[in-house]
């Protein structure tokens, strides 16, 4: 199966992602080996830190990446990972962010070093993005709940029309046991739309590992579920279409206690 990776810091020399062009080429090679046919480059954009000149620089660098990747038969698309902090409104007003290539989808993240903030704050951020005409894709949702996932809260995000992305590395256990359990709980409850790599390097744990994750997950989940998460929904996003919910085959016991 071919995969589309909607979240990765492949555009070099911008953030804490891939540091050099040389390493970006290595990361692209690894993506190719992992059957990744398209990448959305999503450098961190931090409101209050980055300005219009920075955003233009990010776009130029993504175009350089696109040129290199085209020789490896990998498509590259524009994007960013907008960090939602107290200055976010300024960035929103001034269009200092990069939506996913010609679509109304915008990848956003919260601070992974602490528990997801209070409802009024987080939900307000997302609502503001929504009313500006963008659909938030919430990056690595499993990483914001150090005391266990709040399924109801994630379900509310989905009810509001937001897209839920889980990191491949979380499913491999790179971010610890709780994050891993959170990721699987989300999957088992059908509360994930996309699995992406959040690639930061060409070696180590934060790499383009979709083939490895696919092989692991295929022991537990059916082909169509994984195709929806790793190809169909990413393609829907690139085509500015609605994403699909996954239908996870759950055991009788789990169905009996299904939450709604
Ligand atoms: Fe990221």
Contact 30, 72 (CB under 8 A): no
Q: Calculate how far, in angstroms, residue 44's C-alpha sits from the geometric centre of ligand 1.
A: 7
- Residues around ion ligand 1, judged by CB within 5 A, are 81, 198
CA gyration radius for the chain?
17
The pTM of this model reads 0.94
Q: Which of 134, 103, 77 is nearest to 236 (CA)?
A: 103
| Cα 131 to ligand 1 centroid, rounded to whole Å | 24
Query: Around Cβ 130, how many Cβ atoms within 10 Å?
Result: 16
Long-range contacts of the stretch 46-50 (C-beta < 8 A, 24+): 46/83, 46/85, 47/82, 47/83, 47/84, 47/85, 47/87, 47/88, 47/89, 47/90, 47/91, 47/96, 48/85, 48/86, 48/87, 48/90, 48/91, 50/91, 50/96
167 Cα–ligand 1 center, Å: 9
Query: Residue 70 C-alpha to ligand 1 middle, in angstroms?
Result: 23
pLDDT, tens only, 152-186: 999 999 999 999 999 999 999 999 999 999 999 99
21: Cβ–Cβ under 8 A, 6 or more apart, which residues? 12, 13, 64, 68
Please give the distance, rounded to the nearest whole angstrom, from the Cα atom of residue 225 to the centre of ligand 1. Answer: 23
pLDDT at residue number 38: 98
Centre of ligand 1 from the C-alpha of residue 218, in Å: 25
CA of 8 to the centre of ligand 1 (A): 6
At 252 the pLDDT is 46
CA distance 44 to 72: 25
Q: Quick one: tokens of 192?
A: 């994930």
Beta-bridged to residue 45, according to DSSP, are: 82
The predicted pLDDT at position 165 comes to: 98
CB 104 within 8 A of CB 63: no
**pLDDT per position as a tens digit, 184-206:** 999 999 999 999 999 999 999 99
The CATH superfamily holding the domain 3-256 is Metal-dependent hydrolases (3.20.20.140)
Residue 257: per-residue pLDDT = 54
Query: Cα(74) to centroid of ligand 1, in Å?
Result: 20
Which regions in the chain score pLDDT beneath 50? 251-253, 255, 259-260
Task: Measure 78 CA to ligand 1 centroid, in angstroms.
Answer: 14
Joined together, the tokens standing for residue 82 give: 């907008």
CA distance readout (Å), 218 to 143, 145, 221, 228: 23, 26, 5, 13
CA 199 – ligand 1 centroid, Å: 7
């Amino acid at each position: 199966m071919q995969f589309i990776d909607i979240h990765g810091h492949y555009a070099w020399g911008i953030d804490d992602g891939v540091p050099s062009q040389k390493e970006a080429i290595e990361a692209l090679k690894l993506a190719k080996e992992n059957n990744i046919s398209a990448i959305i480059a999503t450098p961190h954009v931090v409101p209050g830190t980055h300005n219009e000149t920075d955003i233009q620089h990010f776009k130029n660098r993504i175009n350089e990446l696109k040129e290199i990747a085209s020789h490896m038969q990998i498509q590259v698309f524009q994007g960013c990972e907008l960090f939602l902090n107290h200055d976010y409104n300024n960035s929103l007003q001034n269009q200092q962010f990069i939506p996913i290539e010609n679509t109304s989808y915008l990848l956003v993240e919260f601070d992974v070093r602490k528990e997801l903030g209070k409802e009024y704050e987080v939900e307000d951020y997302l609502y503001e993005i929504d009313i500006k005409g963008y659909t938030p894709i919430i990056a690595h949702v499993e990483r914001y709940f150090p005391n266990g996932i709040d399924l109801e809260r994630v379900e509310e995000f989905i009810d509001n029309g937001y897209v839920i992305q889980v990191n491949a590395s979380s499913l491999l256990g790179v971010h610890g046991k709780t994050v891993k359990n959170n990721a699987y709980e989300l999957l088992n409850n059908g509360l994930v739309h996309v699995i992406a790599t959040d690639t930061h390097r060409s070696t180590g744990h934060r790499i383009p590992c979709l083939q490895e994750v696919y092989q692991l997950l295929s022991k537990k989940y059916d082909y169509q579920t994984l195709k929806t998460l790793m190809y169909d929904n990413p393609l829907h996003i690139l085509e500015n279409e609605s994403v699909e919910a996954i239908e996870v085959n759950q055991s009788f016991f789990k169905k009996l206690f299904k939450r709604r």
